[in-house]
Amino acid sequence: MPTYAQLQAEPYWGREITTPEVDWLGDELCRRTGRPRSACGTKGDNRHLGGAHRSQEWIKWSKYCTNRSYTVQSGLTAEQERHLAGIDFVPGEWGSDRNRRLMVEQTGRLVDALVSGRLAGVREVIGTLDGRTVVGVRADGSTFSSDDSHLDHWHLTLDRRKCRDKQLMERIVAVALGEDDDMDAKQFLAILKDPAVAREMRALPWQYVGGGIPKGVSTLGVLNEIVLTGRATAARVGADLVDERQLAADLAPALLAVLTPEAIAAAIPDTLAGQVVDVLAARLSADKRPTVVTAETD
């Protein structure tokens, strides 16, 4: 293992960059969790001789690098090659039961978000999902192993092109601390299947009051009234609910007032036409009878 003096003798060590956005991520994680700032780190110590805690420039050119391919990306700018892309965070007191519980919770959230595509810009998560076994997960869902220090701290490998992406850093904080509002279809379906949630959702429609619902009456009350009215109507089936003759008598004057003689004639069935003619002829004859005037006598 090289000494710090040896590492610092090369120009690449001093050229490594922790971007302000990545630095903010460390500040915010520690501030939000009440952890000391030393609980989150980016630049690796003299034991980190490759990977995301070293810049790509250092990986390519330092004589002390032990792996010249891991975390190396193509198409980077000269500045991006100097970016440090590793994040380590210890959520609680190292080695404590509480820290292991926090590790399980936060690793689980980060892995779920990573494989569901909600952490685009993060390439790897390393931590523990059960408090006993270390697991590394890539964005494509594939897994790999790592050392057991990751039982007490989780690690993220960032895309070196995203180290200045403030929104990504904000998403990481939200996901790790369980404040991420986004969820995939599988998670949403699991919530809907929760019996307690299902009961609440079944009750919600009947609590509605507002447009179309009489004041002081619930939706369920309106439905109940409809049911009672339906039952009362059903009990009257068989009774003559409509007086057809009276209905026709009421409607006829209004209808005839807007129809032409041709329309009226066309509406009379052939079987009734003769009778209608006879009735009308008698009516017209009666209307044409002369009026007899009698002289008054004293």
Q: What is the pLDDT of residues 100-120, one digit of tens each?
A: 999 999 999 999 999 999 999
Backbone φ and ψ for 153, nearest 5 degrees, come out as -150, 140
The predicted structure's pLDDT at residue 298: 47
Please state, in angstroms and rounded to a whole number, the distance separating the CA atoms of residues 205 and 213.
12
State the average pLDDT over residues 276-282. Answer: 81
CA proximity to 121, closest of 13, 12, 14, 19: 19
Read off the pTM.
0.62
Please state, in angstroms and rounded to a whole number, the distance separating the CA atoms of residues 156 and 125.
5
End-to-end CA distance of the chain: 154
Helix/strand/coil for 40: strand
Please state, in angstroms and rounded to a whole number, the distance separating the CA atoms of residues 161 and 156.
14
Backbone φ and ψ for 137, nearest 5 degrees, come out as -130, 130
pLDDT per residue over 33-59, tens digit each? 999 999 999 999 999 999 999 999 999
